[in-house]
Amino acid sequence: MPELPEVEYIARSLDARLPGQTVCDVVVRWERTLATHDPTSFRSALCGLTFQSVGRRGKFLLLELPPYWLLIHLRMTGRLYYCPAPQPDWEQNRHVHLILSLDRDARLYLHDIRKFGRAYLTFDPQEVVGNLGIEPLSPELTPERLAQELRSRRRQLKPLLLDQRVLAGLGNIYVDEALWAASIHPLTRSHTLTDAQIAELHENLRRILRDAIAHGGTTLRDYRGPCDETGQHQFSLAVYGRAGTPCRRCGTLIERTVVAQRGTHYCPVCQPVPTEGEETLDEPQTDS
């Protein structure tokens, strides 16, 4: 499932290929892929436009096609595949829902087994990504800013970190990895973290995201880069998908549980369950 590192890798790869290319034709095979248009208006809006740049915001790909922006969210199983010539296998693939024909017969395919991915065509990207929180790798995300985001809420840490309105781009894999690296239990209440824990979380979160980008992302099953390449970060995972295997730090078997309807992987020794005492101490006031 593409999260920040995978989307960042895809954006960089496409930014080296798409700028200067003009859209010659558009084929929509699954209408609901289009979040903002019907196939006819989508096609007539895009045809003749030229790519200017490709970037990322959270888990959204931002494809600049003046005067429009084409925003793509890959959700669970979405893939973008670029090739300099039409590929019969891809043209006929039943999971290809969108095909852009470019200059010199190049192709950009949107492939999505579960059909959750969405494409948004807009003049103003803020209409789509305006509610996203801070970028985890931005210089603005200092330990102090992270502390402010965490302490202004009283939520379980895992669902908070997954909330795109707070931090933009984190998904299930990297949240589990970051919490393990910082030795924090996923159910810990956000306002109970110490300065030291927040510093650990800040540092490890950013390190893991940078490593994963450098590794071309994590390929567990479906993820591929725009040239069909797999990522390599799956070999560096400490907890995600490792239930029943030894913790890389202490040797205890990694456990899997469910938090906020999401599979959650952690080390029961390195990430001890937060004690109830902290919370009751912190909120002694009761309703009257």
What are the residue numbers of the active site?
A: 2-3, 59, 262
Does residue 199 touch DNA according to CB under 7 A? no
Q: Output the smallest distance, CB 220 to DNA, in A.
A: 9
Q: Output the smallest distance, CB 166 to DNA, in A.
A: 9
Part in contact with DNA (CB under 7 A); list of ranges 45-53, 171-179, 210-218, 247-255: 171-179
d(CA 90, CA 110): 10
User: Of 23 and 78, which has the nearer Cβ to DNA?
Assistant: 78
Question: Read out DSSP for 198-241?
Answer: HHHHHHHHHHHHHHHHHTT---SSS---TTS---SGGGG-SSTT
What letter represents residue 263's amino acid? G
Within 8 A by CB and 6+ apart from 118, the residues are: 33, 34, 35, 72, 73, 75
Q: What residues numbered 177-196 form the site for DNA, per CB under 7 A?
A: none
At 51 the three-state DSSP class reads: coil
Q: Output the smallest distance, CB 116 to DNA, in A.
A: 5
Binding-residue pattern over the window 98 to 137 for DNA, x denoting contact by CB under 7 A: ---------------xxxx---------------------
List the structure tokens of 280.
């009751």
Scanning the chain, the segments in alpha helix (DSSP H) are: 4-15, 39-46, 88-92, 126-129, 143-151, 157-162, 172-181, 195-214, 276-282
| Residue in 194, 206, 185 with CA at minimum distance from that of residue 273 | 185
Q: Output the smallest distance, CB 175 to DNA, in A.
A: 8
**Which listed residue (73, 79, 202, 233) binds DNA by CB under 7 A?**
73
User: Of 35 and 269, which has the nearer Cβ to DNA?
Assistant: 35
List the structure tokens of 270.
């390195």
What letter represents residue 11's amino acid? A
Does residue 32 touch DNA according to CB under 7 A? yes
Place of tokens 């065509």: 121
Does residue 151 touch DNA according to CB under 7 A? no
Within 8 A by CB and 6+ apart from 5, the residues are: 174, 209, 212, 213, 215, 217, 218, 231, 233
Q: Output the smallest distance, CB 57 to DNA, in A.
A: 11
Part in contact with DNA (CB under 7 A); list of ranges 21-29, 47-55, 134-142, 152-160: 152-160
Does residue 75 touch DNA according to CB under 7 A? yes
Q: Output the smallest distance, CB 178 to DNA, in A.
A: 14
Residue 245 DSSP code: S
Does residue 172 touch DNA according to CB under 7 A? yes
User: Of 44 and 131, which has the nearer Cβ to DNA?
Assistant: 131
What letter represents residue 242's amino acid? R
Q: What residues numbered 219-278 form the site for DNA, per CB under 7 A?
A: 258, 260-263
Does residue 29 touch DNA according to CB under 7 A? no
Residues that bind DNA (CB under 7 A): 1, 3, 32, 58-59, 73, 75-77, 94-95, 113-116, 153-156, 159-160, 162, 164, 171-173, 258, 260-263
